[in-house]
Chain A
Amino acid sequence: MSAAAQADNTPSFGDAELTHDHLVEERLVAWYLLAGLAYLFISMAGGLLMALQLVQWNPLPINEYLSPGRWRMVHTNAIAYGFLANCFLGALHWAIPRLTLKPVLNRALSYFIFIAWQVVVVSTAVGILMGQAQGVEWAETPVWIDPLALAGLALVAINFMAPIVQTKGPQYVTLWYFMAAFVWTFLTYAMGNFVPEYFVSGTSAGAIGGLFIHDLVGLFVTPLAWGLMYYFVPILLKKPIWSHGLSLVGFWGLAFFYPLNGIHHFLFTPIPDFLEYGAIVATIAVEFVVTTVIINFFGTLWGSGRAVVTNLPIRWFYTGMVLYFITCAQCAMQVTHTFQKLIHYTDWVVGHAHLVMFGVFSMWFFGMMTYLFPRLMRQSWYSRALCEWHYWLSLAGITVMFIDLTLAGIFQGFYWASLQPWEVSVDGSQPFWIVRVFAGLAIMGGQMVFVYNLWKTWRLSKQVA
């Protein structure tokens, strides 16, 4: 945002109050991003353990706290609540005050939320490792943590809504996504962590569990992530989003169709067919909405294409968008009964999940980190080459993993349908599972390069000071 725009929007503020330092608590942004990275490594450790278990090379002693079954849940929960949620909070502490030109409600509250959220995430991991998980995917959070997590989400919403409610007139696209996400995340968490466990059972619980799994991706991660893209991409490319009309279509289309998708996770279950078809149609509708968003962002890039080569954050962002389009195109196909017959319950779905969680949202965060860390440390990256390694190892790893697991899923589906003994599908999966271990190691290697680069950059920043 230009200085002129700042002056226009906030006539009542003195210049002193409009400085970046007044708006953004940089230390907190850095803490959130670093916490996110720490959980990313915990999650990758869990993923690696499960991958090694599948190829029957689990190096750890047999111990219930090291059980791959429990670490598999730590893997997914650490990504959702540890890595993604922390990175979101860090990025929001940067973006919202700079966009609204108002600080968040209260700095002390911000720090309290930071600590409270780490307590929530660590307790979730400990609870799962103690064997107290609950039975809904991504809602495994033990029941005694759920109220605390909900209170935390409410505080987050209050803290960030304070600057947003002070702004006047129509809001910028980013804030549409953020505001909706604050409402949705709270409602989604409350629905998924209580209703199917305590209020309904059986088929109804399954339908609600499906809504929860999907809403967590679609109404918590997706809107916050797209909101950040609408914020960072125009700043980095130094031009406005291509079409405001398409931004409107993208937001309202997502808001209407995305919540209706949930049941597509449980096709061919006892859920009535008319509800399954409703979810299928809504899912295919989402794909059309996503296409408008992708067109809008590539329209924005048009004429600045070289930025993808020279500007690393832009490259991360647009790589993520291409993979997002692939994910959604794949989704529109795999959501049909035709595909479901073959690929449901196979590694195809696991490949899809990794593509969206790592290939899209994690990549966007790596882009944001590549942009933000030099600004937080007042020090440019120690090594551009290592940044390139981070990018190419991550991209190679996820590409191989996605193709590998997708193929594995097709093989598994045909093994099962052809009524061969179960072991045949397990034996036939081994080559794919072995490749997956190495793809995962490439991804881990990329993140290790990133952390090393970050550490060297931090050392440099201390020397300069």
Chain B
Amino acid sequence: MFESKSGILLIAGLGFFLFSVLSNALVPVLLYKNLPEKTVEELADNQNLIYQFEDLSQRYPEQFEKYYGEPDQKNLAAALRLGRDLYVGEGCWHCHSQNVRPVSNESTRWGKVASSDEYQNELNRPVMWGTRRVGPDLSREGGRRGNDWQAVHLFNPQSLSPGSPMPKYEWFFDDKNPSMPNKRGIAVITYIQWLGSWLEEYPYYEDYKPLEDQMLNPLE
């Protein structure tokens, strides 16, 4: 059995693999069976996010009108879907995690520790917890900074974060102009502003605190 073709193909090849899938993949699937998976349309029904989408339409009226028309929920859902595809396609998730861990003071830095209900939606097929953080975690990024900050930062990260190793994403803008985000630019910014928008403590740009204040050690 241990050296025969059938033993190896059936027990090691199929059997052990299926056992691993049952124990490591099927168990979580069954555990979260009763947690409904939200569609993008349901995610778009969110006041924090609608605020940001309308803000985009007012900040960049010509560009927004040209690529999206009205800032309604249908267009918001379309922008979220495209933004998520761009976030994947550009490999953003290889340098930015989306998972706040219960260790290493991460909840002090970013906010609420990650929980399963946050990820049970269509935009998390697949989930993008990530495996590396060159830049900070983004799962609480939404609302922390305004749309104008996000646009300029995507266009030229070093202009706002000196020393940042993040690449420039000029193709998210028309005419190489950071004030003219195109369809992709608006979508990516919408997706970033969505991250964390489901939380009570979603901050607004208007409430923005300087970085030094954010980083103060609360124990001091």
A176 & B24 in contact (Cβ 8 Å cutoff): no
Q: Does residue A25 face the partner (Cβ distance < 8 Å to B)? A: no
- Do A196 and B125 form a contact, CB below 8 Å, given A53-B167, A422-B135? yes
Segment touching A, from B70-78, B96-104, B144-152: B96-104
Q: List the B side residues contacting A268 at CB < 8 Å.
A: 99, 101-103
Q: Does residue A417 face the partner (Cβ distance < 8 Å to B)? A: yes
What residue in chain A is nearest B25 (Cβ atoms)? A208
What residue in chain B is nearest A71 (Cβ atoms)? B91
Q: Smallest distance from the beta carbon of B135 to chain A beta carbons, Å?
A: 7
Q: Smallest distance from the beta carbon of B6 to chain A beta carbons, Å?
A: 10
A132 & B31 in contact (Cβ 8 Å cutoff): no
Q: How large is the interface on B (under 10, 10 to 19, 20 to 34, 35 or more residues)?
A: 35 or more
What residue in chain A is nearest B162 (Cβ atoms)? A423
Q: What separation, in Å, do the CA atoms of A165 and B31 have in the docked complex?
A: 41
Decide if the interface of chain A is mainly helix, strand, loop or mixed: helix
Interface residues of B in 1-34 (CB under 8 A from A): 2-5, 8-9, 11-14, 16-17, 19-21, 23-25, 27-29, 31-32
Q: List the A side residues contacting B161 at CB < 8 Å.
A: 423
- Do A131 and B25 form a contact, CB below 8 Å, given A201-B119, A206-B119? no
Q: Does residue A70 face the partner (Cβ distance < 8 Å to B)? A: yes
B24 & A269 in contact (Cβ 8 Å cutoff): no
Q: List the B side residues contacting A413 at CB < 8 Å.
A: 104
Q: Does residue A270 face the partner (Cβ distance < 8 Å to B)? A: yes
A135 & B17 in contact (Cβ 8 Å cutoff): no
B167 & A67 in contact (Cβ 8 Å cutoff): yes
Of the listed residues A67, A215, A270, the one surrounded by the most CB atoms of chain B closer than 10 A to its CB is A270
B29 & A204 in contact (Cβ 8 Å cutoff): yes
Q: List the A side residues contacting B24 at CB < 8 Å.
A: 207, 210-211, 259-260, 262-263, 275, 278-279
What residue in chain B is nearest A210 (Cβ atoms)? B24
Q: Does residue B195 face the partner (Cβ distance < 8 Å to A)? A: no
Interface residues of A in 273-292 (CB under 8 A from B): 275, 278-279
Q: Does residue B122 face the partner (Cβ distance < 8 Å to A)? A: yes
Q: Does residue B217 face the partner (Cβ distance < 8 Å to A)? A: yes
Q: Smallest distance from the beta carbon of A56 to chain B beta carbons, Å?
A: 6
B124 & A202 in contact (Cβ 8 Å cutoff): yes
What residue in chain B is nearest A255 (Cβ atoms)? B12
B28 & A271 in contact (Cβ 8 Å cutoff): yes
Q: Smallest distance from the beta carbon of A289 to chain B beta carbons, Å?
A: 13
Q: List the A side residues contacting B12 at CB < 8 Å.
A: 176, 180, 251-252, 255-256
Q: Does residue B37 face the partner (Cβ distance < 8 Å to A)? A: yes
Of the listed residues B11, B25, B102, B130, the one surrounded by the most CB atoms of chain A closer than 10 A to its CB is B25
Task: State which of A201, A252, A345 has its C-beta within 8 Å of the C-beta of B127.
Answer: A201
Chain B 49-86, CB-CB to A under 8 Å as 1, else 0, gives 00000000000000000000000000000000000001
Q: What separation, in Å, do the CA atoms of A191 and B124 have in the docked complex?
A: 17
Q: What separation, in Å, do the CA atoms of A272 and B35 have in the docked complex?
A: 15
Offer 21 A-B interface pairs, CB within 8 angstroms, sorted by A. A69-B91, A135-B126, A164-B5, A165-B5, A170-B4, A179-B13, A182-B13, A184-B13, A201-B125, A202-B127, A203-B119, A210-B24, A252-B12, A260-B23, A266-B129, A268-B99, A268-B102, A269-B99, A278-B23, A344-B101, A349-B131
Q: Which A residues have a C-beta under 8 Å from some C-beta of B?
A: 53-56, 58, 62-64, 67-70, 72-73, 131-137, 164-165, 170-171, 176, 179-180, 182-184, 187-188, 191, 195-198, 200-211, 213, 215, 219, 248, 251-252, 255-256, 259-260, 262-263, 265-266, 268-272, 275, 278-279, 337, 340-342, 344-347, 349-350, 413, 416-423, 426-427, 433
Q: Which B residues have a C-beta under 8 Å from some C-beta of A?
A: 2-5, 8-9, 11-14, 16-17, 19-21, 23-25, 27-29, 31-32, 35, 37, 86, 88-95, 97, 99, 101-106, 108-109, 114-116, 118-122, 124-136, 158, 161-165, 167-171, 211-212, 215, 217
